[in-house]
Amino acid sequence: MKKEMRFKGQLKNYMYWPLLLTILIVILNIPMYYFDKWAGICVSIFAVCYFIIVLIIYLLNRSGIRNEVISFATQFGTVQKKLLDEFQIPYALLDDNCKILWMNQEFSEITEKDRKYHKSITSIFPSITREILNKEETGSSFQVKWKERVYRAKVDRLYFDEESTEGGILELDSKEQYLMALYLFDETELHHYIQENQELQLVSALIYIDNYEEALDSIEEVKRSLLIALIDRKVSKYFSEKDSIIKKLEKDKYFVVFRHKYLDQLIKDKFSILEEVKTIKVGNEMAVTLSIGIGISTASYSQKYEYSRMAIDLALGRGGDQVVVKEGEKISYFGGKTRQVEKMTRVKARVKAHALREIFESREQIFIMGHSISDMDSFGAAIGMYCAAQVMGKKAYIVLNEVTSSLRPMKECFTEEKGYPLDMFIDSEEAMELVNYRSVVVVVDTNRPNYTECPELLGRTRNIVVFDHHRQSSEVIENAVLSYIESYASSTCEMVAEVLQYFDENIHLKPNEADSIYAGILIDTNNFMTKTGVRTFEAAAYLRRCGAEVTRVRKLLRDDMAAYKARAEAVRHAQVYRGAFAISICPADSNVESPTIAGAQAANELLNIVGIKASFVLTEYNDKIYISSRSIDEINVQLIMERLGGGGHLNVAGAQLKDYTVEEAKRRIQYTLDQMLEEGDIEV
């Protein structure tokens, strides 16, 4: 039996409403029989005639209307398809597996593919993968490149719901299946103009001579003007080639402005000016080094200058002889391979001591804390700051959460029986309860907020003091009222010992206090074998005069048998990578109370092996991988550790890795070494 096509929806209602109106007329006709019989009969006749006429008209015109509707739909679909096919924007339909189902003429022309091409879109645009398309939300867009043209690709999902598939010709496995409409918008010209506009923007840079006074003092007076002239010529020639404006602000400071397009050239060149100025020799024993801070910002020229000023401060805080490029929150480092020269003058230490005294005088509570898992340098520096607070008659606390086995003998020298208050050492919870807005927080042996014993404490006061000898990174303690960071110092204890000499004339350290500070210097210099200078021995001499005893300190620093065995195991199982790098794993045995310290000691031991230029010891502790890296003078381990999110000094550095196994961390170190060797950042 043949089925006819029937109307439905609003069109069906529109066609039937004249027939349905007959029912209304009949209903209205019934009351009329009560008022006037003849009038009711007349209306009934009218209703019958009306129904017959409407029915005849409907039956006669139904097929015609149906054909007109079908014809209109066909014409509309044809026009729509033609418009879509001739659409000026490249357009393609993909299935949920990213396979091309259909493409318009424009899409076919730019991709040079036949309209019958039904392979994956990835075969045309390798950057458009299934993962990217599934990740992108409806209406989202991303950039793709095709034969020197830049397109903005937009993806829309066309879902098939139950209503649209009922009675259709497609049989879908799931109601959640969909098609993807891919549009390509040509933005090559826009991209070109944006890039050109960016290249024409000005970049500001500050250039400082790190060791200006020291370099001049190392040569004869008659040759000093020649040295200055040669430095000026090197700087001017290097930046003049980049169409720059160079202005000398002071005797050792320059301000440079150049176009952004030359920055990539300078980066590719790795700022060779750093090495060029070192070649200037007119009898000077000391090589001249530069620090450069570059600021990039799209906001304003004043913001660019502010960024360059922040960048140069960071370069100087990291030891100089390097370039720091600051673009918003992103910071890049170049150079920094030279050991910073020790400053012979102690004027800065005297100025910082007087500033620290003024801060302590105006406050009642002083909280002192170092980095987490405190070592001897952190502990000794905290003891020095505690002594300074005691001389001023201020209440001081040392925040110490965990006491390691190497630190315990030293801490036991500060008990209530020996004249020290019971609350001299407190943990983070107690510190958070006692601190208030007017308290002073002194941070020693670290300048990174997340590395401190209690990072939350820094947000509870506006009075923060920082004493550290590690090079600065992009993550620093902000809003410090006093910051004394000297990367050339051997240890924070050395810096504290110098400050104490100028802090107060009446200050006098007790023997156990002097022992703690002396032990910090001893550990960080590896028994005065690394990073020692004249001021290191002067600080040690001062502590010796205060009663520090070498033999007593040595007894306090002795290891237990378990730690010694762990260190020996790390040395025994060390592997030599690429003929110059020793990589080992320190066993985190339950008997070893401080495996991270044992790992650091093992890293020092590995440097005694002939041919080893740098050592890396990994220790798994508290769900983290602690990396201790050491070198003598040829490899800058700080640069290596910064690639892993850590930092430190040229010869002593470290990093912490989360969500890594020991083997994964080891492979990452090897990959980082390979990458840096290939890029020329380190040399074997």
Q: Which of 85, 107, 123 is the last residue of a domain?
A: 85
CATH of the domain at 243: 3.30.70.270
Is 657's pLDDT higher than 80? Answer: yes
- Beta-ladder partners of 631: 614
The alpha carbon of 13 is separated from its chain's Cα centroid by a whole number of angstroms, namely: 64
Give the pLDDT confidence of 307-366 residue by residue, as tens digits.
Answer: 899 889 888 877 788 899 988 878 888 887 655 555 555 778 888 899 999 999 988 899
Give the chain's mean pLDDT.
Answer: 83
pLDDT beyond 60 at 490:
yes
Assigned domain for 362 exists: yes
**Same domain for 520 and 388:** yes
- Residue 102 has a pLDDT of 81
Extended strands (E) in 488-637: 575-577, 581-586, 614-621, 624-631
Beta partners for residue 621, in sequence order = 624
pLDDT, tens digit, for every residue of 77-105? Answer: 666 666 666 777 888 888 877 888 888 88
| CATH number of the structural domain spanning residue 150 | 3.30.450.20
Domain shared by 540 and 403, yes or no: yes
Nearest to 447 by CA among 437, 431, 458, 438: 458
* DSSP helix/strand/coil, 345: coil
- Indicate whether 267 pLDDT > 80: yes
For residue 157, tell me if it sits in a domain.
Answer: yes
Owning domain of residue 630:
561-679
Please report whether residue 222 resides in a domain. Answer: yes
H or E element, residue 103: strand 100-103
User: If you compute the radius of gyration of the chain from its CA atoms, what whole number of angstroms results?
Assistant: 39
State the angle between helix axes of 492-503 and 534-545 in degrees (0 to 180), rounded to the nearest 10.
60
Confidence of residue 177 (pLDDT cuts 50, 70, 90): low
Residues 143 and 188 in one domain: yes
Same domain (yes/no): 468, 513: yes
- Name the β-bridge partners of 440: 366, 463
Which whole number is the average pLDDT over 621-650? Answer: 86
Same domain, residue pair 318 and 222: yes
Q: What is the pLDDT of residue 562?
A: 84
Choose the most confident range, by mean pLDDT, from 457-461, 473-477, 529-533.
457-461
473 and 546 belong to one structural domain:
yes
pLDDT in tens, 228-244: 999 999 999 999 888 88
CATH number of domain containing 603: 3.10.310.30
Whether 147 maps to a domain, the answer reads yes
> What per-residue confidence (pLDDT) applies to 253?
93
> Which of the 8 DSSP states describes residue 629?
E
* 506 and 411 within one domain: yes
pLDDT tens digits, residue range 201-223? 889 999 999 888 888 888 888 88
Q: What CATH number should be reported for the domain holding residue 481?
A: 3.90.1640.10
Of the pLDDT bands very low, low, confident and very high (cuts 50, 70, 90), residue 531 is: confident
Report the C-alpha gap between 622 and 625 in whole angstroms: 8
Of 16-20, 568-572, 675-679, which range is least confident? 16-20
How sure is the predictor about 59, in pLDDT bands with cuts at 50, 70 and 90?
confident
| Residue 575: φ, ψ to 5° | -110, 140
Please tell me the predicted confidence (pLDDT) of residue 269.
85
pLDDT at 3 over 50: no
Highest mean pLDDT among 11-15, 503-507, 647-651: 503-507
What whole-number distance in Å separates Cα of residue 499 and Cα of residue 402?
A: 27
Mean pLDDT along residues 258-266? 89
- From 556, 584, 614, the end of a domain falls on 556
Q: Which of 486, 521, 473 is nearest to 645 (CA)?
A: 473
What tokens appear for 296 in the block? 């990039």
| 234 plus 175 within the same structural domain | no
pLDDT, tens digit, 9 for 90 and up, residues 577-587: 999 999 999 98
> Among 66, 85, 104, which residue terminates a domain?
85
Beginning with the edge strand found earlier in the chain, give each strand of the sheet holding 624-631 in spatial order. 575-577, 581-586, 614-621, 624-631, 652-658, 647-648
For residues 359 and 339, give the distance between their C-alpha atoms in angstroms, rounded to a whole number.
33
In this structure, the answer to whether residues 552 and 565 fall within a common structural domain is: no
| Identity of residue 656 | Q
Q: Is the dihedral of CA 525, 528, 530, 536 positive or negative?
A: positive
Q: Residue 336, by phi and psi: left (phi above 0), alpha (psi -120 to 50) or beta?
A: left
Q: Determine the average pLDDT of the residues in 596-614.
A: 90
Structure tokens at 141: 């867009």
Q: What is the pLDDT of residue 386?
A: 95
Match 């401080």 to its residue by tokens.
594
Note the pLDDT of residue 382: 95
Q: Does residue 1 fall inside a structural domain?
A: no
User: Where is average pLDDT lowest: 36-45, 207-216, 485-494?
Assistant: 36-45
Both 512 and 399 in a single domain? yes
Q: Report the pLDDT value the prediction gives residue 212, as an integer from 0 to 100.
A: 86
8 falls in which pLDDT band (50, 70, 90)? low
Task: State the pLDDT at residue 527.
Answer: 85
Q: DSSP label at 139?
A: T
Domain annotation covers residue 393: yes
Q: Does one domain contain both 263 and 152?
A: no
Is 179 in the same domain as 325?
A: no
Structure tokens at 662: 């020991």
- Kindly state whether residue 3 falls inside one of the protein's structural domains: no
Highest mean pLDDT of the ranges 114-128, 285-299, 342-356, 654-668: 654-668
- Count up the domains in the chain and report the number: 5
Q: How confident is the model at residue 75, as a pLDDT?
A: 64
Query: Does a structural domain hold residue 638?
Result: yes
